[in-house]
Structure 1
Amino acid sequence: MSAVAQRAVSGEFEAHTADGAVLRGCSQGEGPVLLLVSGINGTAAFWDDNAATLARSFRVLRFDQRGMGSSTRGTARSTIDQLAQDCLAVLDAAGVERAVLLGHSTGGCIGLSLARQAPDRLAGLILSGSWLKQNRYMSALFETRLAILDQHPRAYAASATLMAYPPTWLEAHWNVYESAVANAPATNEERQIMRERIDALRSFDGSAWSASLTLPVLILGARDDMVVPAFLQDELAAGLPGARKTMLDTGGHYFPVSRPDAFTANVAEWISEIAARAAPTGS
C-alpha cells in the first residue's frame, strides 16, 4: 500500500506519502465509505456541513490535500495524477479497500484520475461541479485568476468567492466572504502552491480515456454556476456513457455549501441505489 496505515484516534488520522507529505484527515460515521475530495482550496473544512449530514448514513472520510490546511507539502509536484495517488494514501491510512469518491470541482478531476489509475479501489464516482477537459472559457478564467493572484492575493480570494456563490446567498452569509479574504494566500509558498494547482487543472484532459471507465458515475451541477458552467456537465455526461446527470436550478459553483439539503439528498439516494444494485440477490 502507498501509505503507512495509522488507526484513527478520535476520528483523526494521518497518511504519509512516499515523497514525505503528511495528509491529515478525519473519519465520521459508520457504513459504506464515502471519500470527500474538495476543490481548488483543497481543505477538509469545505465539507463541514455536508459531512455531518452524510455521516448519519456513511463512514465519511475527508482530508486536507498536500500543502493545504494542516497537511504538509511533500516534494512531489501537485499534478492531478499525484493528487489522485494521495487519495489512495488516505484510503490506505484509514484501512479502506473500496469507497465511493465524491469530488467537487478540482476534486472531480482528481476522482476521474483515480478511477483511471485504480478502478478497483472505487465503488462509484460522484463528480460535483467538475469537468472533463479545458475549454476557452475555463482557460481564460484560470489565466485571469493567475494574474490576480500574483498582483493582489486578497483580490484573488475576493473575486473567487464572489463568483462561487449566488449573490443573495452570499449577502446573507457575508462571514463566508470575510473569511475567504482573511485567509487569502499570503506567503510566496502559499501562492506557489496555488499556482501549481491551477497549472495542474489547465493540463488535465480526461477525454481520451473517460469512455473506458466502467464504474457507476453521478454528475451533479448547478445551472447558475459561473465557475464551471452547466455546458461542461453536458460534456462530462457525453464523455462518460451510462453516467447519471442531475442539475440543480440554483446554487452557484459552491452549491454543496449553498444548497446542502438538496446536495446531500442526491448523494445519499444515488449511493443507496448503486449499493442495492451491487448487493447479491437471494436464491
Structure 2
Amino acid sequence: MIEFKLPETRYALNSDVSVAYQVTGDGPIDLIVVPGFISHIEFQHELPGYTAFLRRLASFARVVTFDKRGQGMSDRMSGAPTLEERMDDVRAVMDTIGSERAALIGFSEGGCMSILFAATYPDRVSHLILTGCFSRSADRLSEEAWEARLEQILRLWGTGELTKSIAPSEAVDPAVIAQYAKWERLASSPGALRTLLRLNRQIDVTAILPTLQVPTLVLHSKADLQVPVALGRKLAAAIAGVRYIEYPIGDHAVWTSNNETVPGDIEEFVTGRRDHGLLEFERVLTTVLFTDIIDSTRNATAMGDERWVRLLGEHDQIAREMVSKHRGNLVKSTGDGVLATFDGPGRAVRCALAFGSAAKQIGLSVRAGLHTGEIEMRGSDVGGVAVHAAARVMSHCGSDEVLVSRVVTDLVAGAGLKFAERGSHELKGLPGKWDLFAASG
C-alpha cells in the first residue's frame, strides 16, 4: 500500500526573520505558490481539496508553499510586511532550496507581490500565473463599503465566515466551516489582520504591469465572490502578451473547484503539455465503502415492484446525502447498495454508521464494509484490490453492521470511534487472513 506523507515544514532565514515553507514533489520545474492575505501551510492540508491540488501540481513540478512573515508558521512581527519585504521572503525561500528560476503562482493578494517580483527579477521567474487577482486593491470596494467590510471581517474572525466569500461551495457543510474557522485563527489574530488589511488597501501595481517581461497567465472565475471578475479582466488587459482564461464556475479558493481544470491549465502553460503525471494519479490511496440492503430480493417480492422501486429511490437519496455530508464521492449504485470513496477513513466510517441509522428509519436494514488501500481510477469508476477487499469485508457483515479491515482501525486511532473484534477471516480471492472489526460511534 502506498502511503502519501504530507511535506515537512522547514524555515528560510531572511535577515532576522524566519519564513516557514514546504516542498511537495521533485519535478524539474519549480512552482512557488504565493498565498493570499492569510495562510497556514500546515493546517491548510485539512481544508478539502488543498492537498490534492498541490499533489496535482507536483505531478510535473517541485511545488513550494510558504507563509509570509507575520502569518501562519512564519515569525510574527509588529505592523505588516510591505510588498518589498514579502518579495524578499520569496527570494529567501528560493535561495534556501537552491532554486535559480521558478514559475510563480500568485493567489489573490499574493498576485500583486508576484507581479512586483517578476518585474524586478525577470531572470528568476520563468512564468507568472495569477489566479483570482487584482492590480489595485482599492478597486474592489468604495472606501465606505470597505470600512464596513473590514469591521465585519474582524468581528466574525475565527468563526469560518470567510468560507462564504472564498469557498462558498464548501459553506454548506458545518464541519468544513469549522475547519476554515480554525484556519483563520491559526493564520492571524484580529489585531494583526486589521493592520495587514489596512496596508493591503494601499496596494497598487497597475503602473508596473506594462513592464512585465515574463510569460503571464491570468485565471479568474466569473463566480468569484472575493475578487470580482471585472478586476481579473482589467488586470489581464494591462499585461502585454497575456493569456487569459475565465471559468464559468468556481470559488475564489482554486483548490475547491475546477480541481483538474485549473492545475491542468497551469501545467499546459508552464510545460506546453497537459497530460504529464496523469498516470501517477490514476492510482490513489482512498477508503472504499460498500453497502448492501439485507434481504433485498425477499423484500422486493413481498412489497411488489412499485413500492420497492419507490423505497429504493429513498435509499439512494439518503446515500447521496450521507456521502456528500461526509465529503465522499458516490461512485455508483449497485442496485441494492452503493460504492463510495473517501479521502479520510474516519469520515468513511461515520458515513457508514449514519447511513445505516438513516436507512433503518425507512424500514431498511443495510450492511457496510470498508477498507483503505490503493485504487485505480477508471474514468468515473474505480477498481483495484482495495475495491475488492471492501466488498469482501462487507460479505462478512451481519444485519445493520459496519465491518472494517485492520488498516482502517489503525488509521482512525484517536478519532473517537469504537471497534469490536470480529476475528480473522479469509477473504475470497485475497491472500492471507484478514482481521475484521465492527464499528460503532
**Matching of residues 1-283 of structure 1 within 5 Å:** 12-18=9-15, 20-29=16-25, 30-44=27-41, 45=44, 47-74=50-77, 77-139=80-142, 142-154=146-158, 157-158=160-161, 160-167=162-169, 169-171=170-172, 173-185=173-185, 190-273=189-272
CA distance in 2: counterparts of 1:186 and 1:220, whole angstroms:
28
2:137 match: secondary structure: coil
- The offset of 1:269, in angstroms, is 0.9
Q: Residue 109 of structure 1 contacts residue 132 of structure 1 at CA under 8 Å; is this kept in 2?
A: yes
Distance 1:185 1:82, change over 3 A: same
Shift of 1:255: 2.9
Deviation sequence 1:254-275 (CA, Å, 0-9, x none)? 133222211111111111129x
Q: What is the distance in 2 between the residues matched to 1:144 and 1:185?
A: 21
Long gaps (5+) in structure 2: 1-6, 274-441
8 Å contact 1:133–1:207 — kept in the other structure? yes
Which letter does structure 2 place at the counterpart of 1:97?
E
Which is greater in Rg?
Answer: 2
Alpha-carbon shift at residue 197 of structure 1 (Å): 2.4
Offset of residue 185 of structure 1: 3.7
Calculate percent identity across the aligned residue pairs.
26
Aligned-residue CA RMSD in angstroms? 2.4
Q: Determine if contact 1:80/1:200 at 8 Å carries over to the other structure.
A: no
The question of whether the paired residues in 2 share the 8 Å contact of 1:33 and 1:98 is answered with yes
Residue pair 1:153, 1:186 contacting (<8 A) in 2 also? no
Using structure 1 for the length normalisation, give the TM-score: 0.83
Unaligned 5+ runs, structure 1: 1-9, 275-283
Distance 1:119 1:139, change over 3 A: farther
* Native 8 Å contact 1:13 1:94 kept in 2: no
* Cα offsets for 1:113-164 (capped at 9, x unmatched): 2112222211111000000113443355642332124444345x41x21112
- Which has the larger share of strand? 2
- Aligned partners of 1:154 and 1:73: how far apart in 2? 18
Shift of 1:231: 0.6
Q: 2-side partners of 1:174 and 1:231: how far apart?
A: 31
CA drift at 1:26: 1.5
TM-score w.r.t. structure 2 length? 0.55
Aligned residue type for 2:84? D
Q: 8 Å contact 1:21–1:75 — kept in the other structure?
A: no
Distance change (3 Å), C-alpha of 1:133 and 1:249: same
Q: Distance in 1 between matches of 2:132 and 2:114?
A: 12
Distance 2:186 2:12 in 1: 26
CA distance in 2, matches of 1:105, 1:186: 19
* Cα-to-partner distance string for 1:159-215 (whole Å, 9 max, x where unaligned): x21112244x432x543211122444489x722321232123211111112101111
| Counterparts of 1:154 and 1:77, CA distance in 2 | 20
Q: Aligned partners of 1:58, 1:133: CA distance in 2, in Å?
A: 30
C-alpha separation in 2, matches of 1:84 and 1:72: 16
Aligned to 1:6: none
| CA positional deviation for 1:239 | 1.2
Between 1 and 2, higher relative CO (CA 8 Å, sep ≥ 6) is seen in 1
Task: Give SS of 1:138's match.
Answer: coil
Paired residues, what number?
Answer: 259
Going from structure 1 to structure 2, the CA distance change for 1:204 and 1:136 (only over 3 Å counts) comes to closer
